[in-house]
């Protein structure tokens, strides 16, 4: 028996290996990654990993766990092809590995900056441990940093850099940060917090080119502005890693296409996590999500399916971002939202935004309000929409009471 081979050892792949064992799978499990590091948590790379020059990676599982669970690790090896007829992976070193079931958990790659000068030294991305180590090594000599891209990675990095006393400017093409990921109210509140902590934001700004002799020295905007920079951090999005799947003839469309049980167009091959485009239950259409929650919940669901208990994946998405001291949490998906209820605290600060689609609660964005986030997850997952004045109150006691009474009613 060739067992299950998992390609990619990020949050999704590593959880899949662990969950297969927890679900009682006794055949061989092999976790394959082209990264040499023991599988690690990705979110801390832009935050705690940067704080100290010698901060270790935070392992997803202890080193001994893999042997204890009889999970074979093949790290630091590149896969060159998936041979579907032979159910076999080909490695760059010429070796091969057979599978009965293959799980693609290949994740995403950082979208590369294409402006002239993008290949200068001192231009960093923040996707892998290797990226993070390279950037961390350059930080002691960096007094001025330009961050290109006002998404989650860029803003988390900007807040971390500003906290170190580095002068940071964030360049965002759109008119506000965080794009369509959050409501305008949350984007404004996050932007205001960053500015209050010393970050300079330039929205509606385009990159013309980067200049420097070997090492980057400045970022030039399309309006002619020259921003001196010792290093540049690029966070302009991510693209699903589908090259192997595509070359193997698997259906791909903004990710490796799966059905509701996460099976690809080849019934022996499955896809989970950031690389998978699947029928998203809450949206009612195909979607690809980039999040830790999506990665680990899909891994758990697939482990059930592969151990004889087929599961349709329908978990409610949730998401978080620690931007400096600000804790942003999102429950649900706001893609189809057409209405928003904005809740402020007594001191005027933004507490949450409740987002509705055709009158139905679909997502709640909260700032430093973890209880509200957790309750929102339950409300949305259970299809409950509290009365408008209760949502607008932002009052936990009222929200809890609404949830309890809705739950007490027969479905």
Partner 1 sequence: MAQITFIQPDGSARVVDAPEGETLMIAATTAGVDGIVAECGGSCMCATCHCLVVSGPTEALPVMEDAERDTLEFTAQDMQDTSRLTCQIKATEALSGLTLRVVGR
**How many binding residues for partner 1 (CB under 8 A)?**
33
Residue 149: name the closest of 48, 50, 46 by CA: 46
Give 285's strand partners. Answer: 280
Binders of partner 1 in range 350-369 (CB under 8 A): 369
408 binds partner 1 (CB under 8 A): no
To partner 1, the closest distance from the beta carbon of 385 in angstroms equals 17
> Does residue 65 bind partner 1 (CB under 8 A)?
yes
Contacts of residue 114, defined as CB under 8 A and 6 or more positions apart, other chains included, come to: none
Where in 88-147 is the site for partner 1 (CB under 8 A)? Answer: none
Assess 304 for contact with partner 1 (CB under 8 A).
Answer: no
Contacts of the segment 342-350: beta carbons below 8 A, 24+ positions apart:
342/183, 342/185, 343/391, 343/392, 343/393, 343/394, 344/394, 345/394, 349/189, 350/185, 350/186, 350/188, 350/189
Mask of contacts with partner 1, 28-57, x by CB under 8 A?
-------------x-xx-------------
Determine, following the binding rule CB under 8 A, whether residue 261 of this chain makes contact with partner 1.
no
Which of 143, 206, 267, 371 contacts partner 1 by CB under 8 A? Answer: 371
Of 43, 213, 215, residue with least CA distance to 123: 215
Pick the binder of partner 1 from 2, 3, 22, 90 (CB under 8 A): 22
Which residue of 2, 120, 290, 320 would you call a contact of partner 1, by CB under 8 A? 320
Q: Which of 377, 380, 386, 394 binds partner 1 (CB under 8 A)?
A: 377
Stretch that binds partner 1, among 81-89, 256-264, 345-353, 375-383 (CB under 8 A): 375-383
CB of 227 to partner 1, least distance (A): 32
Using CB under 8 A, list all residues that contact partner 1: 11, 15, 22, 41, 43-44, 58-65, 68-69, 292-293, 296, 320, 322, 327, 329, 369-375, 377-378, 396
């Amino acid at each position: 028996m060739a067992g299950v081979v998992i390609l990619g050892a990020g949050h999704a792949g590593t959880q899949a290996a662990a969950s297969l064992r927890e679900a009682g799978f006794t055949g061989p499990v092999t976790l394959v990654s082209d990264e040499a590091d023991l599988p690690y948590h990705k979110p801390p790379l832009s935050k705690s990993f940067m704080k100290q020059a010698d901060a270790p990676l935070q392992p997803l599982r202890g080193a001994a766990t893999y042997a204890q669970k009889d999970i074979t690790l093949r790290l630091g090896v590149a896969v060159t092809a998936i041979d579907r007829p032979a159910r076999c992976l080909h490695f760059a070193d010429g070796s091969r590995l057979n599978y009965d079931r293959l799980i693609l958990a290949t994740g995403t790659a950082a979208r590369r900056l294409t402006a002239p000068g993008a290949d200068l030294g001192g231009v960093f991305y923040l996707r892998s441990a290797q990226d993070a180590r390279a950037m961390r090594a350059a930080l002691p000599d960096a007094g001025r940093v330009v961050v290109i891209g006002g998404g989650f990675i860029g803003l988390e990095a900007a807040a971390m850099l500003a906290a170190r006393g580095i002068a940071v400017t964030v360049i965002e093409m759109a008119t506000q940060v965080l794009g369509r990921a959050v409501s305008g109210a949350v984007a404004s509140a996050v932007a205001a917090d960053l500015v209050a902590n010393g970050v300079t934001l330039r929205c509606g700004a385009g990159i013309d080119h980067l200049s420097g002799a070997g090492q980057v020295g400045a970022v030039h905007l399309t309006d002619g502005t020259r921003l001196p920079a010792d290093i540049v951090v690029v966070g302009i999005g991510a693209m699903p890693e589908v090259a192997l799947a595509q070359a193997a003839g698997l259906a791909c469309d903004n990710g490796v296409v799966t059905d509701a049980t996460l099976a690809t167009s080849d019934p022996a091959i499955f896809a989970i996590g950031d690389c998978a485009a699947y029928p998203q239950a809450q949206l009612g259409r195909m979607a690809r999500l980039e999040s830790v929650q999506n990665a680990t919940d899909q891994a758990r669901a697939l482990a059930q399916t592969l151990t004889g208990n087929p599961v349709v994946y329908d978990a409610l998405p949730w998401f978080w971002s620690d931007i400096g001291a600000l804790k942003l949490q999102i429950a649900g998906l706001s893609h189809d939202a057409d209405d928003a209820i904005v809740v402020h605290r007594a001191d005027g600060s933004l507490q949450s935004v409740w987002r509705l689609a055709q009158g139905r609660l679909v997502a709640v964005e909260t700032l430093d309000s973890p209880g509200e986030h957790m309750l929102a997850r339950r409300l949305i997952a259970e299809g409950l929409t509290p009365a408008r004045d209760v949502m607008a109150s932002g009052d936990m006691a009222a929200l809890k009471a609404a949830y309890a009474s809705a739950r007490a009613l027969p479905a």
